[in-house]
Structure 1
Amino acid sequence: MSVQSYLFFEGRADEAIAFYGKALDAEVLMRMTYGDGPGGQCPDGSTPPADKVMHASLHIGGTEVGLSDGMCSGKPEFKGFSLTLVCADDAEAKRRFDALADGGQVNVPLGESFFATSFGMLTDRFGVDWMVMVPKAPAG
Protein backbone atom coordinates (compact mmCIF):
# COMPACT_ATOMS: atom_id res chain seq x y z
CA MET A 1 0.00 0.00 0.00
CA SER A 2 1.14 3.56 -0.61
CA VAL A 3 -0.23 7.07 -0.22
CA GLN A 4 0.28 9.48 -3.11
CA SER A 5 -0.36 13.19 -3.36
CA TYR A 6 -2.79 14.50 -5.98
CA LEU A 7 -2.80 18.24 -6.66
CA PHE A 8 -5.43 20.30 -8.50
CA PHE A 9 -3.92 23.33 -10.25
CA GLU A 10 -7.22 24.76 -11.56
CA GLY A 11 -5.99 25.51 -15.07
CA ARG A 12 -2.23 25.76 -14.45
CA ALA A 13 -1.26 22.06 -14.60
CA ASP A 14 0.90 22.31 -17.73
CA GLU A 15 2.74 25.25 -16.17
CA ALA A 16 3.25 23.20 -12.99
CA ILE A 17 4.50 20.19 -14.97
CA ALA A 18 7.12 22.37 -16.68
CA PHE A 19 8.11 24.08 -13.40
CA TYR A 20 8.53 20.84 -11.43
CA GLY A 21 10.36 19.29 -14.37
CA LYS A 22 12.95 22.05 -14.13
CA ALA A 23 13.01 22.53 -10.34
CA LEU A 24 12.87 18.85 -9.30
CA ASP A 25 13.81 16.90 -12.43
CA ALA A 26 10.24 15.56 -12.41
CA GLU A 27 9.56 13.04 -15.16
CA VAL A 28 6.12 12.96 -16.79
CA LEU A 29 4.81 9.40 -16.56
CA MET A 30 1.52 10.21 -18.26
CA ARG A 31 -0.60 13.19 -19.27
CA MET A 32 -4.23 13.05 -20.41
CA THR A 33 -6.38 16.02 -21.39
CA TYR A 34 -10.12 16.38 -21.02
CA GLY A 35 -10.30 16.09 -24.80
CA ASP A 36 -8.77 12.61 -24.51
CA GLY A 37 -11.71 11.40 -22.42
CA PRO A 38 -14.94 9.99 -23.82
CA GLY A 39 -16.97 12.94 -25.05
CA GLY A 40 -14.51 15.31 -23.37
CA GLN A 41 -16.61 15.18 -20.21
CA CYS A 42 -15.81 14.79 -16.53
CA PRO A 43 -17.56 12.15 -14.43
CA ASP A 44 -19.93 14.88 -13.18
CA GLY A 45 -21.00 15.65 -16.77
CA SER A 46 -19.19 19.00 -17.06
CA THR A 47 -17.04 19.73 -20.10
CA PRO A 48 -13.82 21.64 -19.24
CA PRO A 49 -11.62 22.98 -22.06
CA ALA A 50 -10.36 20.05 -24.16
CA ASP A 51 -6.70 21.08 -23.92
CA LYS A 52 -6.63 21.17 -20.10
CA VAL A 53 -5.09 18.35 -18.06
CA MET A 54 -7.61 15.81 -16.76
CA HIS A 55 -4.89 13.67 -15.21
CA ALA A 56 -1.11 13.60 -15.20
CA SER A 57 1.44 11.72 -13.17
CA LEU A 58 4.95 12.92 -12.30
CA HIS A 59 7.82 10.84 -10.97
CA ILE A 60 9.83 12.94 -8.50
CA GLY A 61 12.73 11.05 -6.96
CA GLY A 62 11.13 7.86 -5.66
CA THR A 63 7.61 9.29 -5.48
CA GLU A 64 4.69 9.58 -7.86
CA VAL A 65 2.58 12.74 -7.70
CA GLY A 66 -0.73 13.07 -9.54
CA LEU A 67 -2.07 16.36 -10.79
CA SER A 68 -4.92 17.86 -12.75
CA ASP A 69 -6.38 21.15 -13.89
CA GLY A 70 -9.47 20.20 -11.89
CA MET A 71 -12.42 22.36 -12.86
CA CYS A 72 -10.14 25.10 -14.30
CA SER A 73 -11.37 27.80 -11.91
CA GLY A 74 -8.02 29.61 -12.09
CA LYS A 75 -7.80 29.66 -8.29
CA PRO A 76 -5.89 26.68 -6.89
CA GLU A 77 -6.01 26.35 -3.10
CA PHE A 78 -3.59 24.17 -1.21
CA LYS A 79 -4.31 24.32 2.51
CA GLY A 80 -3.54 22.17 5.51
CA PHE A 81 -0.55 20.22 4.20
CA SER A 82 3.03 20.50 2.98
CA LEU A 83 4.99 18.30 0.64
CA THR A 84 8.34 17.30 2.12
CA LEU A 85 11.37 17.00 -0.13
CA VAL A 86 14.08 14.94 1.57
CA CYS A 87 17.40 15.59 -0.17
CA ALA A 88 20.61 13.56 -0.24
CA ASP A 89 22.86 16.42 0.91
CA ASP A 90 22.92 20.12 1.75
CA ALA A 91 23.99 21.19 -1.76
CA GLU A 92 20.99 19.42 -3.30
CA ALA A 93 18.70 20.89 -0.63
CA LYS A 94 19.88 24.43 -1.45
CA ARG A 95 19.53 23.89 -5.21
CA ARG A 96 16.00 22.44 -4.88
CA PHE A 97 14.92 25.00 -2.26
CA ASP A 98 16.06 27.92 -4.43
CA ALA A 99 14.39 26.42 -7.53
CA LEU A 100 11.07 25.86 -5.74
CA ALA A 101 11.20 29.34 -4.19
CA ASP A 102 11.54 31.02 -7.62
CA GLY A 103 8.34 33.04 -7.97
CA GLY A 104 7.14 31.86 -4.56
CA GLN A 105 7.66 32.87 -0.94
CA VAL A 106 10.23 31.66 1.59
CA ASN A 107 8.53 31.07 4.94
CA VAL A 108 11.51 29.62 6.85
CA PRO A 109 14.93 30.19 5.27
CA LEU A 110 17.00 27.09 4.57
CA GLY A 111 19.44 26.46 7.41
CA GLU A 112 20.58 23.99 10.02
CA SER A 113 18.20 22.90 12.77
CA PHE A 114 18.41 20.49 15.68
CA PHE A 115 16.96 17.69 13.51
CA ALA A 116 18.39 18.49 10.06
CA THR A 117 21.61 19.75 8.50
CA SER A 118 19.32 21.71 6.18
CA PHE A 119 15.68 22.60 6.72
CA GLY A 120 13.50 25.29 5.18
CA MET A 121 9.87 25.98 4.32
CA LEU A 122 8.43 27.79 1.33
CA THR A 123 5.29 28.29 -0.71
CA ASP A 124 5.92 27.84 -4.42
CA ARG A 125 4.44 29.99 -7.21
CA PHE A 126 1.32 27.80 -7.33
CA GLY A 127 0.60 28.05 -3.60
CA VAL A 128 1.93 24.57 -2.72
CA ASP A 129 3.76 24.49 0.63
CA TRP A 130 7.07 22.63 0.74
CA MET A 131 9.46 21.58 3.48
CA VAL A 132 12.97 20.88 2.14
CA MET A 133 15.33 18.98 4.40
CA VAL A 134 18.39 16.81 4.91
CA PRO A 135 17.81 14.87 8.14
CA LYS A 136 20.69 14.54 10.60
CA ALA A 137 21.97 11.04 11.08
CA PRO A 138 20.53 9.43 14.23
CA ALA A 139 22.83 9.58 17.23
CA GLY A 140 24.42 6.21 17.70
Structure 2
Amino acid sequence: MATINPYLNFPGNTEEAFNFYKSVFGGEFLALQRFKDAPADAPGCSDMSKADGEKIMHIALPIGKSNVLMATDALESMGQKLEAGNNFTLSLFTESEEETERLFNGLSAGGTIQMPLEKTFWGAYFGMFIDKFGMRWNINYDLPK
Protein backbone atom coordinates (compact mmCIF):
# COMPACT_ATOMS: atom_id res chain seq x y z
CA MET A 1 0.00 0.00 0.00
CA ALA A 2 1.09 3.55 -0.63
CA THR A 3 2.75 5.72 1.99
CA ILE A 4 2.16 9.46 2.30
CA ASN A 5 4.66 12.18 3.24
CA PRO A 6 4.54 15.99 3.28
CA TYR A 7 6.37 17.88 0.53
CA LEU A 8 7.10 21.53 1.34
CA ASN A 9 7.82 24.44 -1.00
CA PHE A 10 10.08 27.28 0.10
CA PRO A 11 10.85 30.66 -1.54
CA GLY A 12 14.58 29.97 -1.92
CA ASN A 13 15.57 29.03 1.63
CA THR A 14 14.95 25.26 1.59
CA GLU A 15 18.56 24.47 2.46
CA GLU A 16 18.48 26.75 5.52
CA ALA A 17 15.13 25.32 6.64
CA PHE A 18 16.25 21.71 6.25
CA ASN A 19 19.53 22.25 8.05
CA PHE A 20 17.40 23.58 10.91
CA TYR A 21 15.02 20.58 10.77
CA LYS A 22 18.01 18.23 10.67
CA SER A 23 19.42 19.91 13.80
CA VAL A 24 16.14 19.27 15.59
CA PHE A 25 15.20 15.79 14.30
CA GLY A 26 18.70 14.45 13.72
CA GLY A 27 19.51 11.94 11.00
CA GLU A 28 21.02 12.40 7.57
CA PHE A 29 19.47 13.57 4.32
CA LEU A 30 18.26 10.74 2.10
CA ALA A 31 18.58 13.01 -0.92
CA LEU A 32 19.88 16.48 -1.72
CA GLN A 33 19.67 17.51 -5.38
CA ARG A 34 20.23 20.98 -6.76
CA PHE A 35 18.64 22.35 -9.91
CA LYS A 36 22.10 22.44 -11.54
CA ASP A 37 22.17 18.62 -11.19
CA ALA A 38 19.17 18.17 -13.51
CA PRO A 39 19.78 17.32 -17.17
CA ALA A 40 20.05 20.44 -19.34
CA ASP A 41 16.89 19.43 -21.23
CA ALA A 42 14.76 19.19 -18.06
CA PRO A 43 11.88 21.71 -18.21
CA GLY A 44 13.04 25.17 -17.11
CA CYS A 45 16.66 24.17 -16.49
CA SER A 46 18.35 25.03 -19.78
CA ASP A 47 18.53 28.79 -19.22
CA MET A 48 18.66 28.84 -15.42
CA SER A 49 20.88 31.37 -13.67
CA LYS A 50 23.89 30.16 -11.72
CA ALA A 51 22.24 31.32 -8.45
CA ASP A 52 19.02 29.40 -9.21
CA GLY A 53 21.10 26.35 -10.18
CA GLU A 54 22.39 26.24 -6.59
CA LYS A 55 18.85 26.15 -5.16
CA ILE A 56 17.35 22.88 -3.92
CA MET A 57 15.40 20.82 -6.47
CA HIS A 58 14.72 18.01 -3.99
CA ILE A 59 15.70 17.23 -0.41
CA ALA A 60 14.49 14.46 1.89
CA LEU A 61 14.97 14.02 5.64
CA PRO A 62 13.69 10.90 7.43
CA ILE A 63 11.59 11.63 10.50
CA GLY A 64 11.10 8.65 12.78
CA LYS A 65 10.78 5.12 11.43
CA SER A 66 8.64 5.58 8.33
CA ASN A 67 8.10 9.26 7.59
CA VAL A 68 10.08 11.50 5.27
CA LEU A 69 9.93 15.29 5.18
CA MET A 70 10.71 16.55 1.66
CA ALA A 71 10.97 19.94 -0.01
CA THR A 72 12.01 22.09 -2.95
CA ASP A 73 12.73 25.73 -3.69
CA ALA A 74 9.91 27.34 -5.69
CA LEU A 75 11.70 29.49 -8.25
CA GLU A 76 10.04 32.60 -9.66
CA SER A 77 12.37 32.28 -12.68
CA MET A 78 10.46 29.05 -13.46
CA GLY A 79 7.09 30.77 -13.09
CA GLN A 80 6.50 29.50 -9.56
CA LYS A 81 5.02 31.85 -6.97
CA LEU A 82 4.31 30.74 -3.44
CA GLU A 83 0.93 31.57 -1.96
CA ALA A 84 -0.98 30.19 1.00
CA GLY A 85 -2.14 26.73 -0.09
CA ASN A 86 0.56 25.97 -2.67
CA ASN A 87 3.44 25.79 -0.20
CA PHE A 88 2.91 22.07 0.44
CA THR A 89 2.01 18.90 -1.43
CA LEU A 90 0.92 15.44 -0.33
CA SER A 91 3.39 12.98 -1.77
CA LEU A 92 2.36 9.34 -2.28
CA PHE A 93 4.94 6.59 -2.69
CA THR A 94 3.53 3.47 -4.29
CA GLU A 95 4.64 -0.13 -4.64
CA SER A 96 3.90 -0.76 -8.34
CA GLU A 97 3.16 0.98 -11.63
CA GLU A 98 -0.38 -0.41 -11.48
CA GLU A 99 -1.00 1.07 -8.02
CA THR A 100 0.51 4.36 -9.22
CA GLU A 101 -1.88 4.51 -12.19
CA ARG A 102 -4.92 3.52 -10.11
CA LEU A 103 -4.28 6.17 -7.44
CA PHE A 104 -3.25 8.85 -9.95
CA ASN A 105 -6.34 8.30 -12.12
CA GLY A 106 -8.69 8.07 -9.13
CA LEU A 107 -7.41 11.06 -7.18
CA SER A 108 -6.95 13.33 -10.21
CA ALA A 109 -10.49 12.72 -11.55
CA GLY A 110 -12.18 16.10 -11.85
CA GLY A 111 -8.94 17.90 -10.97
CA THR A 112 -6.10 19.49 -12.92
CA ILE A 113 -3.14 17.39 -14.05
CA GLN A 114 0.08 19.38 -13.77
CA MET A 115 2.41 16.61 -14.96
CA PRO A 116 1.01 13.38 -16.41
CA LEU A 117 2.48 10.09 -15.23
CA GLU A 118 5.80 9.50 -16.94
CA LYS A 119 9.14 7.83 -16.39
CA THR A 120 11.58 10.46 -15.11
CA PHE A 121 15.32 11.08 -15.22
CA TRP A 122 15.55 10.25 -11.49
CA GLY A 123 14.30 6.71 -12.10
CA ALA A 124 10.66 6.99 -11.06
CA TYR A 125 7.19 6.72 -12.56
CA PHE A 126 5.88 10.11 -11.42
CA GLY A 127 2.99 12.53 -11.87
CA MET A 128 1.54 15.69 -10.27
CA PHE A 129 -1.98 17.09 -10.02
CA ILE A 130 -4.38 19.24 -8.03
CA ASP A 131 -7.47 17.28 -7.04
CA LYS A 132 -11.02 18.59 -7.41
CA PHE A 133 -10.86 19.89 -3.83
CA GLY A 134 -7.72 22.00 -4.47
CA MET A 135 -5.22 19.64 -2.77
CA ARG A 136 -1.83 19.23 -4.45
CA TRP A 137 -0.49 15.68 -4.96
CA ASN A 138 2.68 13.97 -6.25
CA ILE A 139 2.62 10.25 -6.94
CA ASN A 140 5.96 8.44 -7.19
CA TYR A 141 6.90 4.82 -7.89
CA ASP A 142 10.65 4.14 -7.78
CA LEU A 143 11.33 1.97 -10.84
CA PRO A 144 13.36 -1.20 -10.30
CA LYS A 145 17.04 -0.71 -11.12
* TM-score w.r.t. length of structure 2: 0.46
Specify which structure has the bigger relative contact order, considering alpha-carbon pairs within 8 angstroms and separated by 6 or more residues: 2
Q: Which has the larger radius of gyration?
A: 1
